[in-house]
A and B are shown apart, each in its own frame.
Chain A
Amino acid sequence: MSLPDYRKLVIIGDIGAGKTQLIQTLSEISPVTTEANSSIDIGKDLTTVGIDYGRISLNEETALGLYGVPGQERFSFLWDMVSESVWGLMVLVKSTEPPRLDYLDRLLSHFIDAKEKTPCMVALTHSETVEHSELKNLSAQIDLVLHERDVSAPTLPIDCRSEQSAMLLLHTFNAMNIHRTSAT
């Protein structure tokens, strides 16, 4: 029996965007989490300071390693550690806060290989309590940044606690990759 093809999905986003929760929801193994007590007021007790890791099989031939990295700039050395051979990048944006578009641009420039056209997706988290019109406005602002970077990426709402919602995004990602592979 051959081993499944192993690929790397990087999940990144600002504090409290839902990275750790998303990996916990998706992973079929007990996830590795690296949280520490927060020493400043970030609206929650724990914050990720290392790499969160989980794994999920997309099918019999393909398994995904889920790598969650802290979004804060001071941890950018971790971004370098995971940015090689990225199969896909998922950026989590907290939809209850004004978007930090310059920060999104920095993440895209760090992780997206323009030549390889690394598949990317922007997931709007905590969107359950946000008005539809606000979500639409947020998506439009994000689309502008993506367009400027020449990145073709869908922007979709996600409930990180819901397996169904998270799986829908993963399957969208997989479809994007199949399309990209067949196009080259």
Chain B
Amino acid sequence: MNENPSSLRLSQVIQHRIESMFSQWTDMQFVYLSTTDGFHIFGLHQGAENAEPDKVAAIASSLFALSNTASKNILNDELQVSIVETMSGNIIFLRTHLNRADTVLTVAANKDMSLAKVRYHALRLSELIESND
């Protein structure tokens, strides 16, 4: 059985552009891209040692699927973003596409970055990832 979604790769160019953006956002803790069935594709982190990529990928897929079930059952629509707020920071789970496949972009930032800003940066990253197609 193939254990890796090897067809889902970010190009070097896109990876470098994400790295360049991420290095400027000092309050952002990590950016992880994973498949909707819980496999890690790409990630960057600064500080957040607890956020193991494989664990985040599995959690992101579960949370995204549960949130999507809620949005479909309650609002009759597909989920776009799921937000987790804590006293110390925020996490955004955003639906994005890599090579036309549904993927989840998980972005976490400490409380010094506003939720609006995290969301804005996540959308910019998502646009960049989708340009990989």
A residues in contact with B21, CB < 8 Å: none
Quick check: B38 and A75 within 8 Å, CB to CB?
yes
Which residues of A are in contact with B by a Cβ distance under 8 Å? Answer: 32-42, 47, 49-51, 72, 74-75, 77-78
Question: Quick one: given A32-B69, A34-B69, A77-B55, are A39 and B39 in contact (CB under 8 Å)?
Answer: yes
Question: Quick one: given A77-B55, A77-B58, A77-B59, are A39 and B69 in contact (CB under 8 Å)?
Answer: no
B residues in contact with A39, CB < 8 Å: 5, 8, 35-37, 39, 101
Quick check: B5 and A50 within 8 Å, CB to CB?
no
- Other than the given A39-B5, A39-B8, 17 more pairs (CB < 8 A) read A32-B73, A36-B35, A36-B38, A37-B101, A37-B102, A38-B37, A39-B36, A40-B2, A40-B4, A40-B37, A41-B1, A50-B61, A74-B54, A74-B58, A75-B62, A77-B55, A77-B59
Question: Quick one: given A40-B1, A77-B58, A77-B59, are A51 and B102 in contact (CB under 8 Å)?
Answer: no
Question: Quick one: given A39-B35, A74-B54, are A50 and B1 in contact (CB under 8 Å)?
Answer: no
Quick check: A75 and B58 within 8 Å, CB to CB?
yes
Quick check: A78 and B39 within 8 Å, CB to CB?
no
Residue B3 at the A interface, CB < 8 A? Answer: yes
B residues in contact with A35, CB < 8 Å: 65
A143 to B18, CA, bound (A): 52
Quick check: A49 and B37 within 8 Å, CB to CB?
yes
Quick check: B61 and A36 within 8 Å, CB to CB?
yes
A residues in contact with B73, CB < 8 Å: 32
Question: Quick one: given A47-B37, A77-B59, are A36 and B65 in contact (CB under 8 Å)?
Answer: yes
Number of residues on chain B facing chain A (CB within 8 A): 27
A158 to B37, CA, bound (A): 27
Q: Tell me the minimal C-beta distance from B116 to chain A in angstroms.
A: 28
Interface flags, B1-35, vs A, CB<8A=1, else 0 = 11111001000000000000000000000000001
Residue B48 at the A interface, CB < 8 A? Answer: no
A residues in contact with B35, CB < 8 Å: 36, 39
Question: Quick one: given A36-B36, A36-B37, A41-B1, are A50 and B101 in contact (CB under 8 Å)?
Answer: no
Residue B66 at the A interface, CB < 8 A? Answer: yes
A residues in contact with B1, CB < 8 Å: 40-42
A residues in contact with B4, CB < 8 Å: 40
Question: Quick one: given A32-B69, A42-B1, are A50 and B62 in contact (CB under 8 Å)?
Answer: yes
Q: Tell me the minimal C-beta distance from B55 to chain A in angstroms.
A: 7
A residues in contact with B3, CB < 8 Å: 40
Contacting A at CB under 8 A, from B35-87, are 35-39, 54-55, 57-59, 61-66, 68-69, 73
A33, A39, A49, A78 — most chain B CB neighbours (10 Å): A39
Quick check: B65 and A34 within 8 Å, CB to CB?
yes
Quick check: A49 and B8 within 8 Å, CB to CB?
no
